[in-house]
Amino acid sequence: MNKKIQQFLFFLAGLVVSIGFDQWTKYLAVVKLKGKQPFVIWDGVFELYYSENRGAAFGMMQGKQGFFFLIAIAVIAVVVFLLFRMPSDKKYLPFTGCLFLLVSGAAGNMIDRVANGYVVDFLYFKLIDFPIFNVADCYVVISTLLLILLFFFVYSDEELEFLSFGRQKNKKSENGE
C-alpha cells in the first residue's frame, strides 16, 4: 500500500477514535452529571462538574458560535493542506498524530456548538480553580505542546520545509548543479 495512503488512513483512524472518545465522554457527562452535584474524584483537588460553555477557552467570547465555527473550519483546512504536503516517511507519524489530535479537538467542540449551541465541559481542577474543560480541549493543548517539542527538538529545518507556504528551495541550484 502506498505510504501516503497509509499516512492518510492513520490520520483518519486517529480522528475517528479520538472524536468518538470525546463525544462519548461528553455524552456520559450529560447523562451522569447534568443537574447533579459534582462527582468528586479527589476531594478539594479534582472533580467531574457539568458545565455548558457558550464561549471559548476559559469562557471568553460568550455567544460567538459563528466565529468559533469559522476558526474550527480554518484549523481543519490548514491541517488537511499540511497533511497532503507532508512527506509520508515514518518519522512524520508523531507529526501526523499531533495533527489528528488538533483536528479532533476542534471538530469535537464544533460538533457540540452545532448540535447544542454550547460545548459540554466537565473536567474541573478545583485545587487551583482552573476553568472547567473537556477531552477535546485536552487534545488541542496536548497536540500544541507536542508540536512545539517536535519543532524544537525532533525535526530539522530541512525536514519541515513542507510547512513553508512559499516556493520550495531548488536543491539543484543550491548544490551548484
The predicted-structure confidence for 55-103, as pLDDT tens digits, reads as follows 766 556 666 667 878 888 898 899 989 998 999 888 999 999 999 999 9
Domain membership flag for residue 170: no
Residues 6+ apart with CB under 8 A from 150: 94, 95, 98
Domain membership flag for residue 33: yes
Please give the residue range of the domain that contains residue 96. 1-155
Domain membership flag for residue 165: no
Q: CB neighbours (10 Å) of residue 7?
A: 21
- The yes-or-no answer on residue 22 being catalytic is no
**pTM confidence score:** 0.84
Domain membership flag for residue 171: no
Domain membership flag for residue 175: no
In sequence order, the β-bridge partners of residue 120 are: 52
Which is the catalytic residue, given 22, 43, 112, 137? Answer: 137
> For the chain, how many structural domains are there in total?
1
DSSP H helices, the chain, are 3-33, 65-85, 93-116, 135-149, 171-174
- The yes-or-no answer on residue 43 being catalytic is no
Which is the catalytic residue, given 22, 43, 89, 121? Answer: 121
Domain membership flag for residue 122: yes
Strand order in the sheet with 46-53: 39-42, 46-53, 119-125
